[in-house]
Amino acid sequence: MLPAELRTERLLLRRWTEADRAPFAAMNADERVMEFYPSVLSRAESDAFVERVGATFDREGYGLWAVEIAATGEFAGYVGLWPATFPAPFTPAVEVGWRLAAAHWGNGYATEAARRSVEDGFTRLALPEIVSFTAATNLRSRRVMEHLGMTYAASEDFDHPNVPQEHALRRHVLYRLANPASQVSFSAG
């Protein structure tokens, strides 16, 4: 059953509200935030994204949570699980992803919220594995993946099919994290 929210020490991960749309659209129009995406988003594109998130929660039982700073109630961005269904050797898969407003970078929020999302995916959903991927040059996101204990699958770097052919961000790296509960251990003897 889909929980109403997830909590961490400093963050509330919750379903989206109408009040989240304006700060999310501002975030998606910020070139710093969208540096590793092909382009910034218009307000209409940003709102359509929020609609897709809501539909994914309803259909899949997981999605991208709106992240709220618990102490202030401020919207900080999103973190959560998302179905990766585009054509690639590792899909279909479930990815953990994040996008935070620049004002909230450097506080460990992405790692904290992603860790909680991964935990939910492994315990409640019993996913055998969660992946994450980003443009090869996105060192900040790669550090978050490493902080989560994910393993860089260097032999599985790929050209993202949703990024234009000649775009500098087309080449992506893939990180994997296996559910510890699904690991089988064999003892000698």
Over 25-66, what HEC string results? HHHHCCCCCCCCCCCCCCHHHHHHHHHHHHHHHHHHCCCEEE
pTM for the model stands at 0.93
Mean pLDDT across 7-14: 98
**pLDDT computed for residue 160 by the predictor:** 96
Closest to 57 in 3D by CA, of 113, 20, 16:
16
> pLDDT confidence of 49, banded at 50, 70, 90?
very high
For residue 185, pLDDT over 80 is answered with no
> pLDDT confidence of 2, banded at 50, 70, 90?
confident
Domain 5-181: which CATH class? alpha beta
For residue 90, pLDDT over 60 is answered with yes
